[in-house]
Structure 1
């Protein structure tokens, strides 16, 4: 029996748990919710505790609490920490679901940056985790239209989550048969938290909130 772990937050991570639990020969062994779970999305810790009482929930939010080699599959879904080589090197399949297109939108808040840059396409990507920031080979991606004159961050985020559910459902059952595709490093752009001031009116869920100085949203 293959053991799997899910790290992350919200309804998309919960969907990943459901998909993994339904895979033949796989058990959902461990879930590590982000240490601070958002109040605007499903609480992953509560959902897993109720849905799968036998699944271990590590509420520290720290990937280091997952023993290297315990799980054959580790899936990061909107997880808020970089995973280190101790876990990467000991895991057969260690993958991440990133709410942006790669390699052009690595790092934090890809939805916000895509609208800030007035893109007309955005996407959500499942890729292999390596030692870099969202730099591992691509397993699957979904690309969809966005309209920067009309869309708010919350609109594109919701769309990314909808496409993400389908992408996870389609990809995980085929994981053993998918050949990862290396990213084009010459096109890589990585956004860091220190760059957030450059988002301007796209720093929040809506442009009105950003102008009003409300709290920042994004990943």
Structure 2
């Protein structure tokens, strides 16, 4: 029996938990919600307590509390911490769901940056976790249209989550058959929190909210 852990937040993470729990030969062993859960989305800690009573919940939000080697599969879904080599090296399959296209939108706020850059395509990606930031080989991705003249960040985020649900449902049952595809080094861009000021009017859910921020 394969044991799995989910490190995550929100409704997309809840869907990932349910999908893993339904996989043949797999048990959802551990759920680690982000330590600070958003009040605008499903609280994963509450959802897991009610709907997934067999799973233990580590409310610290810290990946270090997951014993290395305990789980064969670790799935990070919108998790807010960089996972270290202690867990990466001890886990046979450790993967991440990233709300952006790779390699061009590694790091934080990929939706905001895609709109700031006036992209007409965006995506959500499931990739292997390695020692870098969103740099591991790609397992699956969903790409969809966006409209930078009309879309707000919240519009593209919601679209990303809808596509993410289907991507998770399609990918997890096929993990053992998928050959990971290395990312192209050319075109790789990583965004860090220190770069957020350059987002300008794309720094918040809407341009109206961004305009009300000091320095925006």
TM-score tier, shorter chain, comes to: over 0.9
The CA deviation at 1:31 is 0.3
- Counterpart Cα distance in 2 of 1:196 and 1:52: 36
Q: Deviations for 1:130-162, whole angstroms, at most 9, x for unmatched residues?
A: 000000000000000000000000000000000
Alignment of 1:134-149 (within 5 A): 134-149=134-149
In structure 2, what is the equivalent of residue 59 of structure 1? 59
In structure 1, what is the equivalent of residue 49 of structure 2? 49
In structure 2, what is the equivalent of residue 25 of structure 1? 25
In structure 1, what is the equivalent of residue 2 of structure 2? 2
In structure 2, what is the equivalent of residue 193 of structure 1? 193
The CA deviation at 1:93 is 0.6
TM-score with structure 2 setting the length: 0.98
Q: Given the alignment of the two structures, is residue 101 of structure 1 paired with residue 101 of structure 2, yes or no?
A: yes
In structure 2, what is the equivalent of residue 178 of structure 1? 178
SS in 2 for 1:28: strand
- Counterpart Cα distance in 1 of 2:78 and 2:114: 17
- Counterpart Cα distance in 2 of 1:185 and 1:163: 26
- Counterpart Cα distance in 2 of 1:182 and 1:109: 22
In structure 1, what is the equivalent of residue 206 of structure 2? 206
Q: Given the alignment of the two structures, is residue 88 of structure 1 paired with residue 88 of structure 2, yes or no?
A: yes
Figure out how many residues of one structure are paired with residues of the other and give that number: 215
- Give the CA RMSD over aligned residues: 1.0
In structure 2, what is the equivalent of residue 155 of structure 1? 155
Question: What stretches of structure 1 move > 6 A for 4+ residues in a row?
Answer: none
In structure 1, what is the equivalent of residue 73 of structure 2? 73
SS in 2 for 1:187: coil
The CA deviation at 1:54 is 2.0
- Counterpart Cα distance in 2 of 1:8 and 1:79: 4
- Counterpart Cα distance in 2 of 1:9 and 1:190: 22
The CA deviation at 1:213 is 1.8
TM-score with structure 1 setting the length: 0.97
- Counterpart Cα distance in 1 of 2:186 and 2:21: 38
The CA deviation at 1:53 is 1.4
Structure 1 unpaired stretches of 5+: none
